């Protein structure tokens, strides 16, 4: 048995995971990121000890957002949690006398999807999360290809300013944040559109607003959604041309649109794939993630299993 | 000993390569691509047999431009050579009764640079060739990560139409072809510039023209070169953020500019790298390729060695 620890900005999800990727028991604690990192560590340690009781735990896998050094098990830097040089891996390993791994959260979630979810059995899988940002993890032969920040790939040179400092990152167009920007721009331009009226009625603009108005046939919203899918196809095709994943699994809030997002995306990406017309097989399958918010926990545990 | 066969549009370079990547004998034949692929095959076979004499050849590695199926040793499609489903790997293996590998030419050249050239000893190396197009090969732990067409990564959504059908490919800005387009655009806009006069004097515009005029301080040319380096940094940073190569080696015609290209590029790329200011070490070394047009031959031979 392995323990997976999935650290998020608000809460930390933990669970005991067996060799078949089943979660046999679970625990969730608040992150309390405003506290010192060593205090947060004590909380995690106690919860892990609790989960360990009566379980033959062989290793613990942690994942965290931020810049990670997997070799030394260190969170080098995390903007939201205000962590700097947090040696959580080594500290946990010493306290438990067990092997402990530390991975980036998007990497762990990708590993979860690749070993137990939507991309099970594929030799190259790319997991892309369309949320506040664009998270990404690339799994090659069942292992994390660490550190892939595909969200910070410029697709529009000189375009929208990203939080990372670059201009025109994929994330600024394909994330929920990007879609909200596009929706706002369209509403400003077409204040009489149904999209504008629906946004006003909802009281706020989310990543769902344009899809909802498009479902009702609003022309402005349809254009926003089409442009969104266009950018999404563009960025994903960049990955396909560069890395040839067999499967791209889409997760995150926007993926809840399901086939009304995925079907046009599957069509739109084809002409963008290098040499598409000469290919005998579909170059890539685009699927929805299946593990939801358990992907990180399972992936972290499976990453720990891999070091044994 | 291994034989490497590097197929190009004009000529085919072949050589016997030892375990230390030294070429001990060489041969070059014209490709004669206008002939049927089976006739070309006979020529290659005879030359390989000639090279094999008095050498204990254990395996043969071939590389070719075009779309390659490495598993079956097939050139699926090559536009310039007019090859379709050319089973050169299996044919060669049967004729010689030896293991034969087939790789994409950019991949083989990248492997050469990674095992014997500029990127020797690195665990992740990206080799980028700035020629007519942008070639790329990605080497992970000394092995080809096959099929990386990074030149066909869109960096300017809706931008210049590429030969592949996409708009705004990296190749359309960072290749010699891209630089020539930019140079022409600048000359049209500033017909009185020194750049325009130099181009007229040279009788044609090449990937060197703007660099030459920039060396003489021409403002228009400096802007062309700066923009060129800007796009180059943008695309390379996309690779760094996505794949974290330790080394990027630059080859191809434009790389002959040497440090007058590489030094500003090294500076320009820094702010584009995700989390750069929190990094304790330089995230990537940018170097010039060192094997020149022998990289493919050596890489193809070393790819063959790897299957033994």
Q: Tokens 């620890």 correspond to what residue?
A: A5
pLDDT above 80: residue B79: no
Q: Which residues contact B264 (CB under 8 A, 6 or more apart)?
A: B226, B229
Tens of pLDDT along B82-138?
888 999 999 999 999 999 999 999 999 999 999 999 999 999 999 999 998 999 999
Interface membership of B231 toward A (CB under 8 Å): yes
pLDDT (average), residues A45-52: 97
In this structure, what token pair is assigned to residue A205?
């603009």
pLDDT (average), residues B133-144: 94
pLDDT confidence of residue A149: 86
Q: Are A173 and A156 in contact (CB under 8 A)?
A: yes
pLDDT confidence of residue A66: 85
Candidate ranges A293-302, B30-39, B272-281; pick with highest mean pLDDT = A293-302
Mean pLDDT of chain B: 94
Tens of pLDDT along A168-177?
999 999 999 9
Confidence grade of residue A281 (pLDDT, cut at 50, 70, 90) = confident
pLDDT (average), residues A48-62: 96
pLDDT above 80: residue B80: no
Tens of pLDDT along B17-45?
999 999 999 999 999 988 999 999 999 99
The strands making up B143-144's β-sheet, listed across from edge to edge, are B143-144, B134-140, B124-130, B247-251, B285-288
pLDDT above 90: residue B185: yes
Q: Which of A152, A168, A272 sits opposite B274 (nearest CB)?
A: A152
Interface membership of A149 toward B (CB under 8 Å): yes
Interface membership of B278 toward A (CB under 8 Å): yes
pLDDT above 80: residue A50: yes
pLDDT confidence of residue A147: 77
Q: Which of A155, A157, A166 sits opposite B231 (nearest CB)?
A: A157
Residue B39 C-alpha from the chain's centroid: 27
- For a pLDDT cut of 70, what percent of chain A falls above it? 100
Tens of pLDDT along A210-267?
999 999 999 999 999 999 999 999 999 999 999 999 999 999 999 999 999 999 999 9
Interface membership of B123 toward A (CB under 8 Å): no
Global confidence as pTM = 0.92
- Sign of the torsion angle spanned by Cα atoms A35, A40, A46, A50: positive
**Which residue in A149, A242, A284 has the most chain B C-beta atoms within 10 A of its own C-beta, making it the best mutation to test that interface?**
A242
pLDDT above 80: residue B196: yes
Taking CB atoms and an 8 Å cutoff, what residues of chain A touch B110? none
Confidence grade of residue B147 (pLDDT, cut at 50, 70, 90) = confident
Confidence grade of residue B279 (pLDDT, cut at 50, 70, 90) = confident
Q: Which residues contact B38 (CB under 8 A, 6 or more apart)?
A: none
pLDDT confidence of residue A86: 94
Q: Are strands B67-69 and B59-64 parallel, antiparallel or unpaired?
A: unpaired
- For a pLDDT cut of 90, what percent of chain B falls above it? 86
Interface membership of B159 toward A (CB under 8 Å): yes
Q: Do A76 and B278 touch (CB under 8 A)?
A: yes
pLDDT above 90: residue A161: yes
Q: Are strands B2-7 and B11-17 parallel, antiparallel or unpaired?
A: antiparallel
CA distance A70 to A100: 10
ipTM of the complex: 0.91
Any long-range contacts for A160-165 (C-beta under 8 Å, 24+ apart)? A163/A133, A164/B274, A164/B275, A165/B271, A165/B272
CA distance A65 to B61: 43
Min Cα separation A53/chain B (Å): 39
Query: E strands of chain A, at which residues?
Result: 2-7, 11-17, 23-30, 59-64, 67-69, 74-78, 83-86, 100-104, 124-130, 134-140, 143-145, 247-251, 285-288
pLDDT (average), residues B273-280: 84
Tens of pLDDT along A188-211?
999 999 999 999 999 999 999 999
Interface membership of A69 toward B (CB under 8 Å): no
Burial class of B71 by CB neighbour count within 10 A (0 to 12, 13 to 18, 19+): exposed
Q: Could you tell me how many CB contacts below 8 A there are between chain A and chain B?
A: 90
Q: What is the CA radius of gyration of chain A?
A: 20
pLDDT (average), residues B138-160: 93
């Amino acid at each position: 048995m392995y323990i997976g620890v999935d650290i998020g900005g608000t809460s930390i999800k933990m669970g005991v995971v067996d060799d078949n990727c089943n979660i046999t028991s679970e625990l969730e604690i608040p992150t309390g990121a405003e506290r010192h990192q060593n205090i947060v560590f004590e909380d995690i340690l106690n919860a892990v000890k609790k989960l360990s009781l009566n379980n033959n735990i062989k290793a613990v896998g942690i994942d965290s957002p931020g810049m990670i050094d997997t070799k030394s098990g260190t969170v080098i830097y995390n903007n939201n949690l205000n962590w700097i040089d947090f040696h959580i891996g080594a500290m946990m390993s010493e306290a438990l006398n067990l092997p402990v791994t530390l991975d980036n959260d998007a990497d762990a979630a990708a590993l979860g999807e690749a070993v137990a979810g939507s991309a099970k059995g594929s030799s190259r899988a790319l997991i892309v999360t369309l949320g506040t940002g664009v998270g990404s993890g690339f799994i090659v032969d069942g292992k994390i290809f660490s550190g892939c920040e595909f969200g910070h790939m410029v697709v529009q040179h000189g375009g929208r300013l990203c939080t990372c400092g670059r201009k025109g990152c994929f994330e600024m167009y394909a994330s929920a944040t990007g879609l909200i920007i596009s929706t706002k721009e369209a509403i400003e331009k077409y204040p009489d559109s149904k999209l504008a009226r629906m946004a006003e009625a909802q009281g706020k603009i989310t990543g769902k607003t344009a899809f909802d108005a498009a479902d009702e046939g609003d022309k402005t919203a349809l254009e926003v959604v089409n442009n969104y899918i266009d950018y999404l196809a563009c960025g994903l095709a960049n990955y396909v041309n560069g890395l040839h994943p067999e499967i791209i699994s889409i997760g995150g809030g926007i993926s809840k649109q399901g086939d009304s997002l995925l079907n046009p995306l599957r069509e739109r990406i084809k002409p963008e794939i290098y040499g598409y017309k000469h290919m005998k097989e579909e170059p890539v399958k685009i699927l929805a993630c299946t593990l939801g918010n358990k992907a990180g926990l399972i992936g972290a545990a499976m990453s720990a299993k891999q070091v044994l």
